Structure 1
C-alpha cells in the first residue's frame, strides 16, 4: 500500500471514528439522570469526538488548498493539541471563507453560532477536559496544582444555567421537584447545542469550501448534515455510537 492511499484511508477512518464518538457522547448525555451521574464518560467521548472531527476537517481544508496532506505542524503539540477552543478558532478562520459566508445564507448563521457564548461555554469545558481536567482527581490525589475546575461541577453549572433560563422548568420544579421531565429537557438542550456545532462543521463538507475530497465522505456525516432546526435535541442516540 503506497503512502498516499494509506493516508487517505486513515483520513476516512478518523472521520468515521469522530462521528461515532460524538453520537455515542450524545447518547451518554441523554442517559444522565436519576441513578446515573457519570459525567466523565460523555465528557471523555465528546472531547475526543469533536477534537477528531475538527482536526479531520482542517486536514481536508489543507488538502484542498495545498493539494497535499498536511504535516504534523498543522496542529500544536502537547496539551495544546487537545485545545478545542483553538481548533474551533481555526475552523472559523480557515474554513468559513468570505465567499461562503456571504453567498450561503446558513453559513452566516453557523458562523455566528460558532462564536456564541451558549456554545463556547460547553466547548471550553470539553477543551479543559481534553487538555488536563480528565486527570483532575489524580492531580488532587498526588498534590499537583490543578489547572482547571472539577469538570463534573463545571458541566453541571452550565446545566443549571439552562434550568434557570427556562421558566417552564423552574415552574415545574416548584410543582414537582422529582419530575423526570426536567432532566430530560436539560439533556436535550445540551445535545441540541452540540448537534448544531456538529451540523455547522458537517455543512462545510458539502456547501463549504473545504474541497472535493471531503464530499466523498458525506455518507459519514449525514446524521448531522441533514438535521433540521426542529429536530435539534429530539433524536435518540445509541450509547454505542453505532451507525444507524
Structure 2
C-alpha cells in the first residue's frame, strides 16, 4: 500500500481521536444531578486517548525508521493507556531542551492524578465495561467497577468549599462543574503535552503534516486550561432549549425607573477575583430584594434559584455563558447587597 494511503488513514485516525476526546470532555461537563451516565464519557475518552497515543507511536516510529510499523507491532501495544504513555516517554518523546516541553514531560511522567485517571479508563477499556456481566454471570475474577473508582477520585478532589456548596441551593449545581473542570484540566495538560510534539517538530517533520487537528490542544498553555465549554459539541447541549430572555426597551426603562430594581455594571478588568464569564462585562440586578438576574450581551439569565423559578431562565453556566468550575457565588452576593 502506498505511503499516501497510509498518511490519509493516519490523518483520519487522528481526527477521530480529536473528536472522541472533545466529545468525552463535553459529556463529562454534562454530568449533573439529572445525568449520571458515566459510561459514555468513559467510552469516548478511553477510545480517544488510545487512538491518539497509537497515532503518536506510529509517527514516532516513522521518524526513527522511515516507515510505519506493521500490524503485529500495533496489536502488541495492547489497550493499557498507562503502558502506551510509558512507551511514548521512553521511546519517542523528545523535549529538545525547551522549558515548556520539559514541563510536559515532567507532568506526563510524574503526575499522580493523571496516572490514577488513566488507570480507571484503562481498566474500563480493557474489561471493566462488562463489569455488570461479570456480576450477572458470577465471574470468579470480576473486573473492577470504573464508576466506583471514578467517584472515589471525585470525592478526593472535591474541596471543602465544594462540600459547602451542597448546602447552598443557589450553588449546589456548581459542584459538578468544579469536579469536571479539575479533571478536564488534568486531561487537557495530558493531551496538550502530546499535541505539542506534533506541532513543534519534536516528533519529526513528517508529524507536522498531521498537526492541524491537534493545534487547539497544542496551544493550551496554563492560562487557557479549564476555560473551554466542550458541551457545545454534544447532542444533549445542542438539543436542549436555552431559556433566556432578550432584553427590550421596556426592560431597560424598568431597570432605570423601578425603585425595587437595583443593578450594577461589573467589568472584568475591575473585578477582584476569578472572573467566570466569557463576556468582558455583565450587569447584575436584584429585583424586590429577592430575584437576582444577570445580563450578558443583551440577554437575561438567572443568578439565583429564586430568579430561575420566577422567570424560568437558564443559569449562566447551563447556558454556556460562564466557565464550568468557576463560581458565580460572588455575583449573587453583589446582587443581593444592592
TM-score, length-scaled by structure 2: 0.65
**Equivalent residue number for residue 33 of structure 2:** 34
Matches within 5 A, 1:1-244: 2-77=1-76, 81-97=78-94, 100=95, 103-114=97-108, 115-163=110-158, 166-175=159-168, 179-207=172-200, 209-237=202-230, 238-239=233-234
Report the Cα offset of residue 175 of structure 1: 4.9
TM-score, length-scaled by structure 1: 0.89
Give the distance between the partners of 2:33 and 2:78, measured in 1 at CA: 35
CA distance 1:149–1:177, change in 2 (3 Å): farther
Higher relative contact order, structure no. (Cα contacts within 8 Å, ≥ 6 residues apart):
1
Report the Cα offset of residue 94 of structure 1: 1.6
- CA RMSD in angstroms, aligned pairs only: 1.8
Q: Deviations over 1:112-134 (max 9, x none)?
A: 21121011100000011111111
What stretches of structure 2 of length at least 5 have no aligned partner? 236-338
Report the Cα offset of residue 208 of structure 1: 5.1
Q: Deviations over 1:143-165 (max 9, x none)?
A: 223443211111111111110xx
Report the Cα offset of residue 176 of structure 1: 5.2
- Asked whether the 8 Å contact 1:95–1:204 carries over to 2, the reply is no
Q: Deviations over 1:6-28 (max 9, x none)?
A: 21111100000000000000000
What stretches of structure 1 of length at least 5 have no aligned partner? none
Q: Which has the higher helix share?
A: 1
Give the distance between the partners of 2:141 and 2:105, measured in 1 at CA: 33
Give the distance between the partners of 1:147 and 1:234, measured in 2 at CA: 38
Q: Which has the higher strand share?
A: 2
**Runs of 4+ more than 6 Å apart:** none
Question: Which structure: larger Rg?
Answer: 2
